[in-house]
Amino acid sequence: MKFICLKCESYLLYDMQEKIEESIGITFKCPQCGYRLAMIANAGETQLVHSMGIKIGGRTSPPEALEMTRTNLDEGAETGIDWSEEAERRLEQIPPFVRPMAKTGIERFARERGYREITLPVMEEAKKRFMG
Amino acid sequence: MGKQMAGGKDLKSIIKRLEYPDEARIVSQVMEQQERVKARMNRVRHKIPVLSGKGGVGKSMVTVNLAIAFARRGYRVGILDADLNGPCIPKMMGISDLSFEITQEGAIPPAGPLNIKVVSMDFLVTKEENSIRWKGPIDLSPIWLGTMEMSVLREFLSDVVWGEIDFLFIDLPPGAAADKPPVIAGLIPDLNGAVIVTIPTEISLGVVKRSITYARELGMTLLGLVENMSGFVCPVCGAEADLLDGETQRIVSDLDIPLLGSIPFDRSLSRSCDRGKPLDDAHFISRRFSWISQRITERLDLKESVFEKI
Ligand SMILES: [Zn+2]
């Protein structure tokens, strides 16, 4: 799906996305006049894209093996902890080989502290604990 | 007749002039996924789905024993348990406690008896759970669930370190309603031919005919039928008696599909599956499976030699 700026006769390009509760807001921008347009995908629509194993805007590193399957399985121990969009992106910077270890470590830390969502500040906090 | 114009402009001609950008990287990610499946599957010589019309015909049991028969003949074998909601292959192979090893190269599948590589949902769920639960919207839409399951199968093909193997058996869940056969056919365009597992009552009632038609509509080549629970072996004297009349053979010849072989009902076979230990290779049931495996290789060789002539 694409949007077109009819004034400039040009495709709007993907600009950024943000998580708004269960929905996701995606912003597009006209490369010529700078016109911006935002669309909201609800929880169901977001899940649909996610269940295809696709990240809007592309990936910063290749997916881990069986990533979609493993991250979407609702398994007792894994539930209750969400990752914010920014935290997830930050996690992707970690080399794939050690990523699962880092992920479980941070989730365990968050669980101990009673956090429901892992955000950038939570990651910082966890980092301090692991490094210190 | 005026065409509906977008803001007074002709949308069709605008699009024609523009190059479609993929800066959200959706198309490229889908392409990459397909490439990864292809790269893994290129190293698998024969990809064989195992189908059945309905449940309860012992399809998984036949798949496991076929895999064992091929492995005993020296082939390198893998099984993909495509039944995501009732995976039972690992238990039958006695490796239900094992799991994948996630590495940079991909997920290394557990190996069962005779080094048969097994991939199953069973390795990813805790054993107390008997059904799979996915994260996400509570009111699971069938569309979303379908996409999810398709992605799981894709990952099972693309993200698993199958390595060089000769035979990959794909144990598909029963029935066309499960929708896995078209998914598999879509993911692996070069399936080498399907095996259909049936039981005598299905043959006599014409149920198997529907499975055959369905598989053919999907463009699958059919290697043949395996008739399971075909007769009764007397536990005292070992003599085999047909549970059904000689109609079976006649009906099968009308179906225009070879009968690869028949597996009589035998308690030791179901017990071996319950315990997760393969039957001894001298057991008469093992010899039946060995015979069926030879029929399959003959059919494949024939198919290959025919194509070479074209
Ligand atoms: Zn513009």
- Considering the domain architecture, whether residues A15 and A49 belong to the same structural domain is answered as no
| pLDDT bucket at B180, cuts 50 / 70 / 90 | confident
Using CA atoms, how far residue A33 sits from A6, B202, B243, B252, in Å, is: 11, 67, 79, 70
DSSP per-residue letters across B96-126: TT---EEETTEEEPPB-GGG-EEE-GGGTS-
Cβ atoms of A58 and B29 within 8 Å: the answer is yes
Please tell me the distance from the alpha carbon of residue B272 to that of residue B255, in angstroms, as a whole number. 32
- Considering the domain architecture, whether residues A21 and A83 belong to the same structural domain is answered as no
At B252, is the secondary structure helix, strand, or coil? helix
Does residue A70 sit within a domain?
no
B53-57 mean pLDDT: 80
Cβ atoms of B64 and B79 within 8 Å: the answer is yes
Helix axes B59-72, B267-275, angle to 10 degrees: 80
B82-102 mean pLDDT: 91
Nearest chain B CA: its distance from A131 CA (Å): 25
Cβ atoms of A29 and A10 within 8 Å: the answer is no
Please state the ipTM of this predicted complex: 0.81
- Considering the domain architecture, whether residues A84 and A120 belong to the same structural domain is answered as yes
Range in B68-77, B86-95, B127-136 the model is least confident about: B127-136
Selection from B291, B292, B266 nearest residue B279 by Cα: B266
- Considering the domain architecture, whether residues A30 and A51 belong to the same structural domain is answered as no
- Considering the domain architecture, whether residues A52 and A21 belong to the same structural domain is answered as no
- Considering the domain architecture, whether residues A1 and A36 belong to the same structural domain is answered as yes
pLDDT beyond 70 at B184:
yes
Domains in chain B with CATH codes: 45-309 (3.40.50.300)
- Considering the domain architecture, whether residues A20 and A51 belong to the same structural domain is answered as no
Give A77's DSSP letter.
G
Residues of B in contact with A53 (CB under 8 A): 29, 33, 151, 154-155
pLDDT, position A107: 81
pLDDT tens column, A60-119:
777 889 988 988 887 654 456 788 888 988 888 887 777 777 887 888 788 777 788 899
Report the CATH number at residue A126. Answer: 1.10.8.550
* CB spacing of A52 vs B144 below 8 angstroms: no
Q: Which residue range forms the structural domain that includes residue A19? A: 1-41
Q: Structurally, how many domains does chain A consist of? A: 2
| Residue A94 vs residue A12, higher pLDDT | A12
* CB spacing of B151 vs A69 below 8 angstroms: yes
Please tell me the distance from the alpha carbon of residue B199 to that of residue B167, in angstroms, as a whole number. 24
- Considering the domain architecture, whether residues A89 and A125 belong to the same structural domain is answered as yes
Cβ atoms of B108 and B101 within 8 Å: the answer is yes
Nearest chain B CA: its distance from A112 CA (Å): 22
- Considering the domain architecture, whether residues A48 and A13 belong to the same structural domain is answered as no
Does residue A73 sit within a domain?
no
Please tell me the distance from the alpha carbon of residue A104 to that of residue A98, in angstroms, as a whole number. 10
Does residue A61 sit within a domain?
no
* CB spacing of A66 vs B107 below 8 angstroms: yes
- Considering the domain architecture, whether residues A37 and A51 belong to the same structural domain is answered as no
Residue A25 carries which side chain, given as an amino acid letter?
G
Nearest chain B CA: its distance from A49 CA (Å): 9
Report the CATH number at residue A19. Answer: 2.20.25.420
Residue B256 carries which side chain, given as an amino acid letter?
D
Restricting to B residues 100-129, those with a Cβ less than 8 Å away from any Cβ of A are: 100, 102-107, 124-126, 129
A18-34 mean pLDDT: 89
Does residue A62 sit within a domain?
no
Does residue A2 sit within a domain?
yes
B128-139 mean pLDDT: 64
Percent of residues, chain B, with pLDDT higher than 90: 43
pLDDT tens column, B265-293:
888 888 888 889 999 999 999 999 999 99
pLDDT tens column, B211-251:
888 888 888 889 999 998 876 555 555 555 554 456 667 77
pLDDT, position B176: 54
Selection from A2, A29, A34, A31 nearest residue A17 by Cα: A29
Give B278's DSSP letter.
P
- Considering the domain architecture, whether residues A90 and A32 belong to the same structural domain is answered as no
* CB spacing of A11 vs B126 below 8 angstroms: no
pLDDT, position B2: 47
